[in-house]
Amino acid sequence: MFRFTSPPMPHYITSGEDTYSAGGRHPNRTGIGVFDLLVTTRGCLFLEEEGVALSVPAGSFAILRPDRSHRTAMPCSEITHFHWLHFQTLGAWNEATEHEPYAHPAPTDAYMQIETFVFDVPRSGELHAKEIVYEWMEELTKLCAAPGVQDRFRQQQLFQQLLLHLQEEGGTAAKDPQLALADEAAAYLRRHYREQVSYKALAEQLHFHPNYIALCMKKAFGCTPLDYLTRYRIEQAKQLLIHTSEPIGKIAEAAGFLTFPYFVRCFAKHAGSRPKAFRMRYRS
C-alpha cells in the first residue's frame, strides 16, 4: 500500500486510455517522476516493476511508483484496453506492507491551522464497483480537452473521489481496527476539548482500556490522547488570538485550559512563542 501524508493532497496531472492488440507491450520507463495509475477494462497487462511481477487483469487496478523502472513482463495475450492516470504529491509518502506508527511532522509555521493526517491507498487490487471507476476515468480524460479553470478544478475533485474510492475498495481503513479506534478517540477529543476530559471518561465512551486507546493513538497520530488534546486546544487558542480581541485569560479558558500559567507553558512549547507575542505577530 502507499501511505500519503496530507495536506497537501496528491494531485491529478493528466490521464488517457489505450488499447493494445494481442502481442502489445506497455512502454518501458524509468523514474518518470509521477505515480502511474492503471485501470484495465479488457484483457490483462503483464508488468514488472524492478523485478517484481504485477499483473493487472480486467476489472483491476495498479499503481506504479514514480521513482522506479517498470516494463512489460509478457506481451498481452489478447486485446487489452486500459485507462492510465498520472498523479503526484508534494507531501511525504512511502510504501508499506502494514500500518506503521505515524510520526507527526514538526510545524513549519507557528500559525498552523491545518492538522496533518495520513491515508493509505492499496498498490493494486480488484475493483468491486468497476463501472463507476471506468466512468470517472473517462470523465477525467474528457476534461483534459476542456479549457476552463472550473474544468481543472473538477478534475482535482474527481481525482480525490477516485483516491477515496480506491482506499475503500481495498478496505485499508477497515483492516486495521487500531486506526479505526484512534480516529474515534480523536473525534471524541475534538468534540469535548472545552471540557476536562479524563482517560477514564474516554475509556467509558469507547469501551476500551485507556492503555489500549493510548497505544492506538500513538500508532495513528504519533502521540498520546492527552498530547493530541493539548495540540488541538492550542490550535483553537491560536485562532481565537488572531480572530478575536478577547483577553488571553478568557481564551485559555475557552480552549479548555484550567489555569492560565499552564496554558502559557503549553502554548510556548507548541507555538514557539507566548500567547501575547503570537497575537502581536499576526495582528497590527
- Report percent pLDDT > 90 for the chain: 67
Cβ contact 3:93 at 8 Å: yes
Contacts of 181 (CB under 8 A, 6+ apart): 206, 208, 212, 213, 216
- If pLDDT is split at 50, 70 and 90, which confidence band does 111 have? very low
Neighbours of 86 (CB within 10 A): 17
Of 55-59, 74-78, 104-108, the range with the lowest mean pLDDT is 104-108
Q: What is the mean pLDDT of the chain?
A: 88
- With a threshold of 0.75, does the pTM exceed it? no
Indicate if 177-282 has the same CATH topology as 2-93+103-170: no
Rounded CA gap, 218 and 206, in Å? 16
Cβ contact 120:172 at 8 Å: yes
Cβ contact 269:207 at 8 Å: no
The grid cell for 134 is 471506468
User: Domain 177-282 sits in which CATH superfamily?
Assistant: Homeodomain-like (1.10.10.60)
Q: Residue ranges per domain, the chain?
A: 2-93+103-170, 177-282
- If pLDDT is split at 50, 70 and 90, which confidence band does 72 have? very high
DSSP 244: -
- If pLDDT is split at 50, 70 and 90, which confidence band does 110 have? very low
* pLDDT for the residue 218: 87
- If pLDDT is split at 50, 70 and 90, which confidence band does 98 have? low
Structure confidence by residue, pLDDT tens digits, 138-182: 999 999 988 789 999 999 999 999 999 998 876 544 457 887 888
Between these two residues, 118 and 126, which has the higher pLDDT value?
Answer: 126
Between these two residues, 174 and 42, which has the higher pLDDT value?
Answer: 42
Assigned architecture for domain 2-93+103-170: Sandwich (2.60)
